[in-house]
Structure 1
Amino acid sequence: MAKASSKKPRDIAPIDPMPARVDPCLATLVGKPPKGPDWAYEVKWDGYRLAVHIEPGRVRILTRGGYDWTERFPTIADDARRLAVKTAILDGEAVVLNDQGRSDFGMLQRALGRVPSAVEAGAIVFFAFDLLYLDGRDLRRLPLRERRRLLELLVAGREGAVRLSEEVQADGDAFFSVACEHGLEGIIAKHIEKPYRSGRGEWWQKITCKRRDSFVVVGFEPSTVPGHLGRLLLAARRGNELVYVGGCGTGWSHELSRELRNLLESIGTKEPAVSLRRKNAIFVEPALVAEVEYRTWTDDGKLRHASFKGIRERADDATVREPVV
C-alpha cells in the first residue's frame, strides 16, 4: 500500500459525491476483547448514535434510522458549523455526562425533553469517533487508522459540543477491566486496518460490563401508588412478530415513574401487540422502546433481574433484541 500523503484530501483528491445518508457501521457483541496490534479501543458511550453532515450552507444531524433530528441538537449543529471544513460527515454519539464524567442515557433523554427535567439541551455533547467524508472525498474506503488521523486533525483538543472520542492503545482485557471498575457501560474494539462498512460485522466489536438491550414497550401494570408505574411489559422480535419477554419494575425515580405513566397512558390501546393476558395490564401502542439492563434469560425466554435505563422512540429504528430461548 502506498504511503499516505501528508496533504489534506481537499488538495489532492477528485470529487466524490457526498452521500445523503450512510448506514452506520455496527459493533458485534462479543464476550471478551480481541487481542493484537491491529485493534484499538474506545469507551462505549451511552447515548444516541448520530451522523453530523456538514454541507455548504447547512448542517444536518441524522439518527441511526435516518431521521433528521437537527432541531433537537442545536448546540451540536452550531458547533459543527465552526469546524474548518466545507463538507464532512462525522460518525459519533450524542451524550450527556454526569458529575463523574460518565455518559448517562437518562440525562440525555431529559435534555431532549422527552421527560421533563432540569437538564438543558446545551449539556449534550457529540463525541466523534469516525470521519466518513471530508471536503469532496469519500473516506470510507480508507483504513480506520487513516480516517482517525484525519478526524483528529479536525476535532482533537476541542471542548465545545463537538469533541473527539479518544482512542486507547492498550491491552484490551486491562482496559475493559478498568472501564467496568469505573462504572462504564463497556468498551468498543475496532480493527484499525479495515475500511468503513455499513451494517454489523466483526471489524467493530463491543464488550459490555452488563447485558443491556432494547425492548418494545407493549403495556404496563399500575403501581399501588395512585398515578405511578408499577411494571413495564416488554416484547422482543421473533422473525416479523413481537413476543412477550417479561417485565421490568425497577430503575426509575418516584418522579420519573409518574412521568412514564402519563406518557404511556397517552398511547393506550385495547388491541395488545402481543398475545398476553394479565389481569391488571394496560396495553399501549408499540411505539416506544425501553433500554433495559438485565442479568440473563430464563429457560422460557423471559428477562431475569431487569432494570429500566431509558426510553426512546421506536421510529428511530432502534435495534430490538431477539429473545434467547
Structure 2
Amino acid sequence: MDLTPPFQPMLARPVETMPDGRDLQLDAKWDGYRVIVFARSGAPYLQARRGSDLGAAFPEITREVALLAERGTVVLDAELVVHEGGRLDFGLLQSRARRRGRAAAEAARHNPAHVVVFDVLQIGDEVLLQRSLRERRALLKDLFTHRALGPPWTLCPATTDPQLAREWLSPAWAAVGVEGIVGKPLAGVYRPGARGWVKLRSRASADAVVGAVTGPLMSPTSVLLGRYDQHSKLRLVARSTPLPAALRRELGVVLAAAGPDHPWSAVTFSAGWGTQAVLEHRCVRPATVVEFEGDSAVDSGRYRHPVRIRRVREDLTADEVRGFGGQ
C-alpha cells in the first residue's frame, strides 16, 4: 500500500549525554519544521509533523515536489528550513507558514525555503518502513545521485563517528542553525509515531536577570528571565524548567516582591507553546542575576525552549548582564 497523508513521523526522545554505540547513525539536527514530502503524480503534498498541509504556504517547494514526482513516487522525511543572514531563521520560517496566496508567493521569491532530507519512506511502489536505516540511507543517497537532486533539496549530513558528531554540538554550528544531533539505530526499522530515536541539543550558558517567578515567592517553582534592551526596557528572554529544591530555597532568600512600577506588572505571558492559557506569575525586583543553560533555538533574543538554571550569580549585578539580544 502507498503511504498517504496524514502520516505520523518517527520521533526522538531527548537525552542529556552523547548517544553511545557503534551501531548508531548520527544526524545533524536542523532548526526548522519537520515535514513529510509526498511526491506523487498529480498529488504533491507537503505535510507538517502534525498532519496539516504546508503546500500553500511554500508554493516553491510544492512545485519542486511536483517535478520530483514526474520521475516516480517518492515519500521523504525531512526538515523544512529558511536561510537568512548566513543562518537558519526559525522566526522567518514561522512567518512564511502563516502566508497564503500572493503573500506566500512574494515571500517565496524573497526568502525561499529548502528541504533537508534525512530519510526515504517509499520509492515507487515499495514502502520502505520495514527496511533498516542502513538500507534506507543507501537508497536515499542513490536517489540524490540518480535524480541529480540539487537546491532546494539537501541531503542531511550523517555519520557513525561520534567525534565528528560532537562538532555539530559546537557554538559555531549552533550559530548557523544546527540545534544538535539525532541518534538512530542503523539496524532499526521506521516506526511511525514511536520515539525510537534520541536527540541531544547543543547547549551553552548565559546570564540574565530574574524578573518574575511562578509559584510562591519564598520557594519559586520556576523563573522568568529578562535583559534590558537599548531603551532600558526589561525584555523577556526565557522561562526556566522547574527549579530543584536547593535553588528554590536559595532564590527564596534573595528575591523581593516588586512594586506596581515593575515593567511586567501589566504584562501577560503564555503558559506554553500553542496554548491560549495565561501564565500566572509574580513580579520580583529585577536585581538577582542567574546563570542558565539553554539550547541554540533563540528567536530575536528570546529562547524558544525552557532553560535550566545553573546557579545564582552573586558576583554580578543587573547592569553587568549583556543587553537584550546578546548571548
TM-score, normalized by the shorter chain, greater than 0.5: yes
Question: What is the one-letter code of the residue matched to 2:226?
Answer: G
- Measure how far apart 1:49 and its partner are: 0.7
State how far apart, in whole Å, the 2-side matches of 1:53 and 1:284 are.
38
The corresponding residue for 2:317 is none
Counterpart of 1:208 (choices 185, 201, 207) is 201
Please tell me whether the aligned partners of residues 55 and 62 of structure 2 are also in contact (alpha carbons under 8 angstroms).
Answer: yes
Question: What is the one-letter code of the residue matched to 1:132?
Answer: L
Provide closer, same or farther for how the CA distance between residues 248 and 54 of structure 1 changes in structure 2, counting only shifts above 3 A. farther
Q: Larger Cα Rg: Structure 1 or Structure 2?
A: 2
State how far apart, in whole Å, the 1-side matches of 2:200 and 2:186 are.
17
State how far apart, in whole Å, the 1-side matches of 2:9 and 2:306 are.
18
Counterpart of 2:170 (choices 162, 176, 180) is 180
1:247 equivalenced with 2:233 (yes/no): no
- Measure how far apart 1:124 and its partner are: 1.1
So what's the TM-score if we normalise by structure 2? 0.59
State how far apart, in whole Å, the 2-side matches of 1:86 and 1:250 are.
53
Q: Which moved more, 1:119-128 or 1:160-169?
A: 119-128
The corresponding residue for 1:169 is 160
**SS of residue paired to 1:95:** strand
**SS of residue paired to 1:22:** coil
**SS of residue paired to 1:183:** helix
Please tell me whether the aligned partners of residues 48 and 63 of structure 1 are also in contact (alpha carbons under 8 angstroms).
Answer: yes
**SS of residue paired to 1:152:** helix
1:198 equivalenced with 2:187 (yes/no): no
State how far apart, in whole Å, the 2-side matches of 1:52 and 1:120 are.
20
State how far apart, in whole Å, the 1-side matches of 2:112 and 2:62 are.
13
Question: What is the one-letter code of the residue matched to 2:159?
Answer: V
How many aligned residue pairs are there? Answer: 241
State how far apart, in whole Å, the 2-side matches of 1:53 and 1:232 are.
46
**SS of residue paired to 2:131:** coil
1:153 equivalenced with 2:142 (yes/no): yes
What do residues 160-181 of structure 1 show as CA deviations (whole Å, max 9, x unaligned)?
Answer: 22221122232x1442135414
Provide closer, same or farther for how the CA distance between residues 147 and 120 of structure 1 changes in structure 2, counting only shifts above 3 A. same
Tell me the C-alpha RMSD between the 2 structures: 4.3
- Measure how far apart 1:187 and its partner are: 1.4
Provide closer, same or farther for how the CA distance between residues 284 and 177 of structure 1 changes in structure 2, counting only shifts above 3 A. closer
Provide closer, same or farther for how the CA distance between residues 200 and 309 of structure 1 changes in structure 2, counting only shifts above 3 A. farther
**SS of residue paired to 1:72:** coil
- Measure how far apart 1:91 and its partner are: 0.8
Counterpart of 2:89 (choices 91, 100, 104) is 104
The corresponding residue for 1:58 is 43
Counterpart of 2:80 (choices 94, 105, 112) is 94
Please tell me whether the aligned partners of residues 43 and 186 of structure 1 are also in contact (alpha carbons under 8 angstroms).
Answer: yes
- Measure how far apart 1:21 and its partner are: 2.2
- Measure how far apart 1:155 and its partner are: 2.8
State how far apart, in whole Å, the 1-side matches of 2:98 and 2:119 are.
28
Question: What is the one-letter code of the residue matched to 1:169?
Answer: T
Question: What is the one-letter code of the residue matched to 1:207?
Answer: L
What do residues 54-77 of structure 1 show as CA deviations (whole Å, max 9, x unaligned)?
Answer: 223021111111111111111111
- Measure how far apart 1:44 and its partner are: 0.8
Question: What is the one-letter code of the residue matched to 1:41?
Answer: L
State how far apart, in whole Å, the 2-side matches of 1:76 and 1:143 are.
28
What do residues 187-213 of structure 1 show as CA deviations (whole Å, max 9, x unaligned)?
Answer: 122111100112343x4221111189x
Question: What is the one-letter code of the residue matched to 1:141?
Answer: Q
The corresponding residue for 1:218 is none
The corresponding residue for 2:125 is 136
What do residues 129-187 of structure 1 show as CA deviations (whole Å, max 9, x unaligned)?
Answer: 111122222111111111112222223553222221122232x1442135414232211
Q: Percent identity?
A: 26
1:67 equivalenced with 2:52 (yes/no): yes
Question: What is the one-letter code of the residue matched to 2:133?
Answer: L
